[in-house]
């Protein structure tokens, strides 16, 4: 893989890092491949070696690359990636063509964890949390079925899930919510087609809201599971086969 296939960049080491990271996340390089050397990258994008080094340092910190003095820079396998690094999360935002294997893994995680999280939220949610959850849900209702408001609808949907993670009032789960944001966004983007599907999805979200309002742990878990089943159907994933290859 060469640099020529990549889009131009708009200046700034962060932009360069994002650009290269996205190329890696979408599989433009294979694990074990040698990555272009600093000077070549700098020349190709017309940036200083400093910028390149800063960008590569970020990618290296995220486990996407392995750099060793004298040898060069190598691309690491997906199992080495630091999926929970906030940088990754940022780079993944808006990426619609993520590696399918990665999408499945993240969905599988949510499918196992989110019911539990909803249950914790039902226990720990404050009045503020519930108000935020209601706002998000009303936003989803208001924008449902309006093609011109699709973007807003997705925003509300993602916010709904995020609030649930926040409502656990646990530092670790909260981080998790932030990190999953882009993945959830990507999943939501892929699902939700016709009106019928959308209504069903909306109803299932409503059940989660009601359960959390009532503080009913078991109901919240069950309702969250139903929301994710809906997502799975939309994505064409069979829930029985969620674990990664052995």
Partner DNA sequence: GATTGATGAAATGTCAGACATTTAATAAGC
Partner DNA sequence: GCTTATTAAATGTCTGACATTTCATCAATC
What does the binding site for DNA look like in residue numbers (CB under 7 A)? Answer: 12-13, 35, 37-39, 47-51, 53-54, 56, 67-73
Count of residues in the chain: 246
Phi, psi (5° rounding) for residue 67?
-110, 130
> Per CB under 8 A, does 69 bind its own copies?
no
**Least distance to its own copies from the beta carbon of 145, Å?**
33
Single residue of 69, 96, 172, 238 touching its own copies by CB under 8 A: 172
* 195-214 vs 150-166: helix crossing angle, rounded to 10: 30
Beta bridge partners of 35: 73
> Per CB under 8 A, does 246 bind its own copies?
yes
Using the minimum distance from each CB to its own copies, give the nearer residue, 80 or 199: 80
Closest CA to 96 of 154, 41, 143, 139: 154
CA distances from 57 to 20, 33, 49 (A): 12, 18, 12
| Binding at 86: pick from its own copies, DNA, none (beta carbon under 5-8 Å per type) | its own copies
> Per CB under 8 A, does 91 bind its own copies?
no
> Per CB under 8 A, does 245 bind its own copies?
yes
**Least distance to its own copies from the beta carbon of 83, Å?**
5
What DSSP state is assigned to residue 1? -
Residue 222: exposed, middle, or buried by beta-carbon count in 10 A (0-12, 13-18, 19+)?
A: middle
> Per CB under 8 A, does 130 bind its own copies?
no
Q: Please, what sign has the CA dihedral across residues 170, 176, 179, 182?
A: negative
Single residue of 34, 40, 49, 61 touching its own copies by CB under 8 A: 61
Give contact residues for its own copies (rule: CB under 8 A). 54, 57-58, 61, 63, 78-79, 82-87, 102, 105-106, 108-109, 112-113, 116, 120, 123-124, 126, 168-176, 179, 242-246
């Amino acid at each position: 893989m060469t640099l020529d296939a990549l889009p131009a960049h708009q200046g700034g080491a962060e932009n360069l890092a994002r650009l290269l990271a996205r190329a890696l996340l979408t599989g433009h390089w294979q694990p074990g491949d040698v990555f272009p050397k600093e000077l070549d990258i700098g020349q190709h994008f017309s940036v200083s070696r400093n910028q390149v080094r800063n960008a590569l340092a970020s990618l290296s910190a995220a486990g996407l690359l392995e750099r060793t003095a004298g040898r060069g820079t190598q691309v690491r396998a997906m199992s080495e990636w630091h999926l929970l690094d906030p940088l990754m999360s940022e780079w993944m935002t808006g990426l619609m063509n993520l590696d399918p294997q990665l999408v499945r893994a993240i969905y599988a995680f949510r499918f196992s964890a989110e019911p539990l999280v909803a249950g914790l939220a039902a226990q720990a949610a404050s009045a503020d949390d519930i108000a935020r959850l209601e706002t998000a849900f009303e936003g989803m209702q208001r924008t449902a079925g309006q093609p011109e408001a699709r973007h807003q609808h997705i925003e509300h949907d993602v916010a709904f899930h995020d609030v649930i993670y926040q409502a656990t009032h646990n530092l670790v789960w909260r981080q998790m919510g932030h990190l999953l944001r882009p993945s959830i966004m990507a999943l939501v983007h892929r699902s939700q087609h016709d009106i019928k599907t959308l209504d069903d999805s909306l109803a299932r979200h409503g059940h989660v809201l009601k359960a959390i309002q009532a503080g009913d742990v078991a109901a919240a878990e069950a309702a969250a599971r139903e929301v994710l089943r809906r997502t799975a159907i939309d994505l064409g994933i069979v829930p029985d086969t969620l674990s990664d290859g052995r």
